[in-house]
Amino acid sequence: MKEPLRVGVLASGRGSNLQAILDASARADFPARVAVVVSDREGARALKIAAERGVPAVFLNPKDFGDREAYDAAITKVLEAHQVGLVCLAGFMRILGPAFVRAWRGRVMNIHPSLLPAFPGLNAQRQALDHGVKISGATVHFVDEGVDTGPIILQSSVPVQPDDSEETLAARILAEEHRLYPQAVRLFAEGRLRIVGSRVIVEW
Ligand code: GRF
């Protein structure tokens, strides 16, 4: 069998999407493994989850680096040391600079809790509630130079209920995120994603 794809996950917090990818990759037929987890926050639960699973967990303190480019270069160094072929942003709260995006183009994914291009940026669930949309959801996309603007890989919708709070809507969307992200990683690992201009063609 082909060697599994080596995935690097960048995460700043809770790590539930990391967990979903780890759970999926524990299955023998999953074509990818998490090779390393990098965080910009020392206490991130994501680092703990990784360590508990025996996955290398690396804290890189932004304060130790002069500027964003130096910080991003340090991330690249860690990813390369672990021979990463795909980078998954999973609640990574820093914006990656243009040099990083260029170096990893087509090999970095992000997950966002809305149906992009609606509600990019922070507090997507709050934005959805404020706009009174009846449907929201989750999006996995490739990362480009913008914020939540790259080519869309997969999306899944959920209803927005009249009595939803930010928390109840976030929880409904999160369940879809956990389904979607491992699926996107699998499709990438199996070579079924092709970026054509601003679109992604999925070969199902
Ligand atoms: C998720 O809602 C994801 O869509 C967003 O940040 C959150 C991360 O959650 N980008 P977790 O750390 O994976 O639990």
pLDDT band at 204; cut points 50, 70, 90: very high
- Cβ–Cβ under 8 Å, residues 173 and 136: yes
**Does the annotation mark 141 as catalytic?**
no
Over residues 43-58, the mean pLDDT reads 98
Pocket of ligand 1 (CB under 6 A): 11, 13-17, 90-91, 111-113, 174, 177
Q: Mean pLDDT throughout 171-183?
A: 98
Helix axes 166-189, 16-25, angle to 10 degrees: 40
Please give the domain boundaries of the chain with CATH numbers for all domains. Answer: 1-104 (3.40.50.170), 112-204 (3.40.50.170)
Per-residue pLDDT tens over the stretch 92-113? 999 999 999 999 999 999 999 9
What are the pLDDT digits (tens) for 21-31? 999 999 999 99
Q: Helix 124-131 vs helix 166-189: angle between axes, to the nearest 10 degrees?
A: 120
- Cis ω on the peptide bond leading into residue 117 (within 30° of 0)? yes
Q: What is the DSSP letter of 186?
A: H
